[in-house]
Amino acid sequence: QVQPVESGGGLVQPGDSLRLSCAPVSGGTFSGSAVAWFRQAPGKEREFVAAIRWNGGMIRYADSVKDRSTISRDYAKNQVLLQMNALKPEDTAVYYCAVGRPIASTIRTESAYGHWGQGTQVTVSS
């Protein structure tokens, strides 16, 4: 497992789209791991957004984003992408990428991930 680094946050308007990227620090790989996105809004607890196994198989989404978001692997660029569409003000949060080796029942669980990025701010506002 390796330390992840996030990029792609910013200020967008309601209804816009945004793509977040998560890559391992230089020389690292996500092979054998699951990569997840969590987010934390001001005054709220951190919550699960989406997760994907790097080597194929399982993909999971939170109900709040599943119809508007796609998580994917880019093997060529060695990164995980989170495409979010139709953004809402309630999507405003710091988004964190996390790497771990959860079992199926814990893929949405924060404690199943041992390596976390510093986070990237997403602000949805008009």
Task: Give 41-88 pLDDT, tens digit per residue.
Answer: 999 999 999 999 998 879 999 999 999 999 999 999 899 999 999 999
Portion of the chain with pLDDT greater than 90, in percent: 84
Token pair of 118 as six digits = 């510093």
Token pair of 17 as six digits = 């789209």
| E strands present in 30-92 | 34-40, 47-53, 59-61, 69-74, 79-84
Q: Would the pLDDT of 1 be above 70?
A: no
pLDDT at 104: 87
pLDDT at 27: 78
